[in-house]
A and B are shown apart, each in its own frame.
Chain A
Amino acid sequence: MIEQLFDGLMLALDWQVLLAILLGSIGGIIVGALPGLSSTLGVALLIPFTFGLSAPVAFGLLGGMYCSSIYGGSITAILINTPGTGAAAATVLDGYPMTQKGQAGKALATAIWSSFFGGVFSTAALLVMAPPLSQIALRFGPPETFTVCLFGLTIIASVSTGSMLKGILSGLIGLLIGTVGLDLQIGFGRFTFARFELYNGINLVLALVGFFSIPEALNMVKGRHHVIDADKLKVSDMKLSRAEAKFLFPTWLRSSVIGTLIGIIPGVGTPVACFASYNEAKRFSKRKDQFGTGIIEGVAAPEAANNAVEGGSMIPLLTLGIPGSAQTAIYLGALMIQGINPGPSMFQGANAPITYSIIFGLMIANFVMLGLGLGGIRAFLALIRLKKIVMIPLIITFAVIGSYALNYRLFDVQIMLLLGLAGYFMRKNGIPLAPAVIAIILGPLGEDALLQSNTIFRGNLLMFFTRPICVFFIALTPIAIAVAVNNHRKEKRH
Chain B
Amino acid sequence: MKKLFVLVLVLSLMAFTPALAQDFPARSIETQVGYAAGGASDIIARIVAEYMSKELGQPVVVQNYAGAGGEIAYTGVATAKKDGYTLGYINAPATMSLPLNRKVNYTMDDFEFIGNVIYHENLVVVSPDGPYKTFDDLYKAVSENPGTITVGNSGAYADDHLASLKMQHETGLTFVDTMFQGTAPSLVALMGNHIDSVVCNVADIVQKEKDGQVVVLATMGGERNPLFPNAPTLTELGYDVVMGNYTTLAAPKGTPEEALTILRDALEKACTSDQYMQAAGVEANLPIQFYNAEDIAARYAAANEALVKLWADLALPTP
Task: Please list the residues of chain A having a beta carbon within 8 angstroms of any beta carbon in chain B.
Answer: 44, 47-48, 51, 137-143, 182-187, 189, 194, 196-197, 199-200, 266-267, 320-323, 329-334, 336-339, 341-345, 407-408, 448, 451-452, 455-456, 458
List chain A residues, Cβ under 8 A from B148: 458
Q: Write out, one digit per residue, whether chain B residues 35-57 have a CB within 8 A of any chain A CB (1) or not (0).
A: 01111101100110010000000
**Distance (Å) between the CB of A46 and the closest chain B CB?**
10
Given contacts A141-B189, A187-B102, A344-B213, contact A323 B72 (CB under 8 A): no
- Whether a CB of chain A sits under 8 angstroms from the CB of B9 is no
Q: Are B184 and A322 in contact (CB under 8 A)?
A: yes
Q: Are A329 and B317 in contact (CB under 8 A)?
A: no
Using A336-B40, A344-B211 as known contacts, list a sample of 16 further A-B pairs with CB atoms less than 8 Å apart, ordered by residue number in A: A47-B37, A48-B46, A138-B193, A142-B194, A184-B155, A185-B156, A196-B104, A196-B105, A197-B67, A321-B211, A329-B36, A336-B43, A342-B207, A345-B211, A407-B67, A408-B65
- Whether a CB of chain A sits under 8 angstroms from the CB of B101 is yes
The closest CB in chain A to the CB of B186 belongs to A452
Given contacts A321-B208, A323-B184, contact A332 B179 (CB under 8 A): no
For this complex, 29 residue pairs linking A to B, each with C-beta atoms less than 8 Å apart, are: A47-B37, A47-B38, A48-B62, A138-B191, A139-B192, A142-B189, A186-B156, A186-B317, A196-B67, A196-B71, A196-B75, A197-B72, A199-B68, A199-B72, A320-B188, A320-B191, A323-B184, A329-B36, A333-B39, A334-B38, A336-B43, A342-B207, A344-B213, A408-B65, A448-B180, A451-B179, A452-B178, A455-B179, A458-B147
The closest CB in chain A to the CB of B192 belongs to A138
Complex: A343 Cα to B68 Cα, angstroms: 29
**Distance (Å) between the CB of B40 and the closest chain A CB?**
8
List chain A residues, Cβ under 8 A from B213: 320-321, 343-344
Q: Are A333 and B63 in contact (CB under 8 A)?
A: no
Most chain A beta carbons < 10 A, residue from B65, B105, B192: B192
Q: Are B211 and A343 in contact (CB under 8 A)?
A: yes
The closest CB in chain B to the CB of A140 belongs to B192
Given contacts A184-B181, A407-B67, contact A143 B194 (CB under 8 A): yes
Q: Are B207 and A455 in contact (CB under 8 A)?
A: no
Q: Are A455 and B178 in contact (CB under 8 A)?
A: yes
The closest CB in chain B to the CB of A344 belongs to B211
- Whether a CB of chain A sits under 8 angstroms from the CB of B303 is no
Q: Are A199 and B71 in contact (CB under 8 A)?
A: yes
**Distance (Å) between the CB of A447 and the closest chain B CB?**
11
Which parts of B96-143 form the interface with A (CB within 8 Å)? 101-105
Q: Are B207 and A343 in contact (CB under 8 A)?
A: yes
Most chain B beta carbons < 10 A, residue from A267, A452, A458: A452
Complex: A215 Cα to B208 Cα, angstroms: 47
The 8 closest A-B pairs by CB, nearest first: A333-B38, A141-B194, A199-B68, A339-B283, A200-B67, A138-B192, A341-B207, A187-B156
Complex: A415 Cα to B47 Cα, angstroms: 34
Q: Are B176 and A266 in contact (CB under 8 A)?
A: no
- Whether a CB of chain A sits under 8 angstroms from the CB of B285 is yes
Q: Are B156 and A330 in contact (CB under 8 A)?
A: no
The closest CB in chain B to the CB of A41 belongs to B37
**Distance (Å) between the CB of B44 and the closest chain A CB?**
10
Q: Are A456 and B211 in contact (CB under 8 A)?
A: no
Interface size on B, residues (CB 8 A): 60
Complex: A483 Cα to B284 Cα, angstroms: 52
Q: Are B179 and A185 in contact (CB under 8 A)?
A: yes
Q: Which of B38, B188, B195 contacts A332 (CB 8 A)?
A: B38
Complex: A54 Cα to B30 Cα, angstroms: 27
Which parts of B194-253 form the interface with A (CB within 8 Å)? 194-195, 206-208, 210-213
Q: Which of B66, B105, B184 contacts A200 (CB 8 A)?
A: B66
Complex: A197 Cα to B192 Cα, angstroms: 33
List chain A residues, Cβ under 8 A from B103: 194
**Distance (Å) between the CB of A437 and the closest chain B CB?**
20
Complex: A336 Cα to B188 Cα, angstroms: 18
List chain B residues, Cβ under 8 A from A138: 188, 191-193
- Whether a CB of chain A sits under 8 angstroms from the CB of B85 is no
Q: Which of A199, A322, A456 contacts B188 (CB 8 A)?
A: A322
Most chain A beta carbons < 10 A, residue from B71, B150, B185, B283: B185
The closest CB in chain A to the CB of B205 belongs to A321
List chain A residues, Cβ under 8 A from B67: 196-197, 199-200, 407
Q: Which of B37, B181, B187, B193 contacts A44 (CB 8 A)?
A: B37
Complex: A189 Cα to B317 Cα, angstroms: 13
List chain B residues, Cβ under 8 A from A48: 46, 62
List chain A residues, Cβ under 8 A from B104: 196
Q: Are A339 and B284 in contact (CB under 8 A)?
A: yes
List chain A residues, Cβ under 8 A from B157: 187
Q: Are B208 and A343 in contact (CB under 8 A)?
A: yes
Complex: A253 Cα to B194 Cα, angstroms: 32
Complex: A339 Cα to B285 Cα, angstroms: 7
The closest CB in chain B to the CB of A194 belongs to B103
List chain B residues, Cβ under 8 A from A341: 206-207, 210, 285
Q: Are B72 and A407 in contact (CB under 8 A)?
A: yes
Given contacts A44-B37, A185-B179, A186-B156, contact A333 B43 (CB under 8 A): yes
Complex: A436 Cα to B155 Cα, angstroms: 27
List chain B residues, Cβ under 8 A from A333: 37-39, 42-43
The closest CB in chain B to the CB of A52 belongs to B50
List chain B residues, Cβ under 8 A from A199: 67-69, 71-72
Complex: A456 Cα to B151 Cα, angstroms: 10
Most chain B beta carbons < 10 A, residue from A196, A323, A330, A344: A196
Q: Are B188 and A137 in contact (CB under 8 A)?
A: yes
Most chain A beta carbons < 10 A, residue from B64, B67, B147, B208: B67
**Distance (Å) between the CB of B114 and the closest chain A CB?**
21
Given contacts A47-B38, A343-B211, contact A196 B68 (CB under 8 A): yes
Complex: A206 Cα to B148 Cα, angstroms: 40
List chain A residues, Cβ under 8 A from B102: 187, 189
The closest CB in chain B to the CB of A135 belongs to B192
The closest CB in chain A to the CB of B72 belongs to A196
Q: Are B156 and A336 in contact (CB under 8 A)?
A: no
**Distance (Å) between the CB of A218 and the closest chain B CB?**
30
Q: Which of A182, A337, A338 contacts B68 (CB 8 A)?
A: A182
List chain B residues, Cβ under 8 A from A187: 69, 101-102, 155-157
